[in-house]
A = this chain, B = another copy of it.
């Protein structure tokens, strides 16, 4: 069996991702049962293994459980509207914030997206930043402990980034990110801004453990920023790494560029149409064959939506899994369940999103 060689950078994912290879190459640790046993009431993204590896999450948990100061950072690059794949880190962050009652910082990297996306105008990235902040607030974070800030608005971040930038040479950045001479100088500088986001809790609140829920492709940023911790007497920030959330078509990473996305602002009709038309199915080609041999829920995108996002109840999920696998449940029936679950979530989300318009100011970090 041959696999297409995969490519993985913070800006590009292609080919068949070999997660075991990543674990070895990146030198990250697996989120094992010992860690999971300490996470009561964890949401699907955590308890069902979408978050699969970490750096120093065990140490963060130890501090959190013993009442020491800890924090969470979970950034958002506003290059477009948000889709359901973008929920992944925030569902993890929300759980950790609630469970351990700790501050959550949400840096909006309007600058990164502006630097990296050739055709994204300054005006549009700002528009998306404002739009995305509504979705983030709608997720229901604890207002008194949640701090949203935008690089193009929040004064202090450049000052902190500069202090980190002085410690990172172009050749280090080049080695870690694969920069070349055609990259613009904002893009080259951005790793320092990203580092500043993640050190912000320590810059402002002194040395303590921070955890960052990220997709695994963002880990190079963690490596470069962890290397400078000692120079500031900070503690190396930790991370939990998610596998990619699949696109409707079954592509490894949900992405708007592949037209296989459910937006957080989609109507019930949009969702129904997209799931029915595009959601990659693990079912058999004919009804007869499906009833006889059963479907494959492990590759069925509708099922994966339930598994990782929309069906927290283990018993219910298990029933769906078994019924689909045995052939008792048809693809059309599975899709109906997924459509209903997504629409139920989106209805509530969109209601809260409208309310968020009046709450923005309370969440924006200004100190």
Contacts and interface: CB of A to CB of B under 8 A. Distances in A.
A180 B169 CA distance: 9
Contacts of A173: 185
Contact of A185 (B122, B158, B159, B189): B189
Given A153-B155, A162-B111, A162-B115, A167 B184 contact: yes
- This chain: how many copies in the complex? 2
Interface string A183-216: 1111111011000000000000000000000000
Contact of A165 (B162, B171, B186): B186
Contacts of A151: 158, 162
A171 to B, nearest CB: 4
B191 A189 contact: no
A265 to B, nearest CB: 27
Contacts of A163: 114, 122
30 contacts: A111-B162, A114-B162, A114-B166, A115-B165, A122-B162, A122-B163, A151-B162, A152-B162, A153-B155, A153-B159, A154-B155, A155-B155, A157-B158, A162-B186, A165-B184, A165-B185, A166-B184, A166-B186, A168-B184, A169-B183, A169-B184, A170-B170, A170-B179, A170-B185, A170-B188, A171-B181, A185-B191, A185-B192, A188-B188, A188-B189
A171 B182 CA distance: 6
Given A165-B186, A169-B184, A185-B191, 9 more contacts: A114-B163, A151-B162, A153-B159, A165-B189, A169-B182, A169-B185, A171-B182, A185-B188, A188-B189
- Most chain B CB within 10 A, of A111, A114, A169, A184, is at A184
Interface string A137-176: 0000000000000011111011101110111111101100
Interface residues of A, number: 37
Contacts of A170: 170, 179-185, 188
Contacts of A180: 170
Contact of A169 (B152, B157, B167, B181): B181
A53 B252 CA distance: 60
Nearest to A192: B185
Cβ-closest 10 pairs across A and B:
A165-B186, A189-B189, A171-B181, A155-B155, A152-B159, A158-B158, A170-B181, A165-B185, A168-B185, A111-B162
Nearest to A167: B184
A187 B152 CA distance: 20
A162 B155 CA distance: 14
Contacts of A159: 152-153
A174 B191 CA distance: 19
A308 to B, nearest CB: 35
Contacts of A158: 111, 151-152, 157-158
A115 B188 CA distance: 15
Contacts of A167: 184
A174 B165 CA distance: 18
Contacts of A166: 114-115, 184, 186
A188 B185 CA distance: 6
Contacts of A165: 115, 184-187, 189
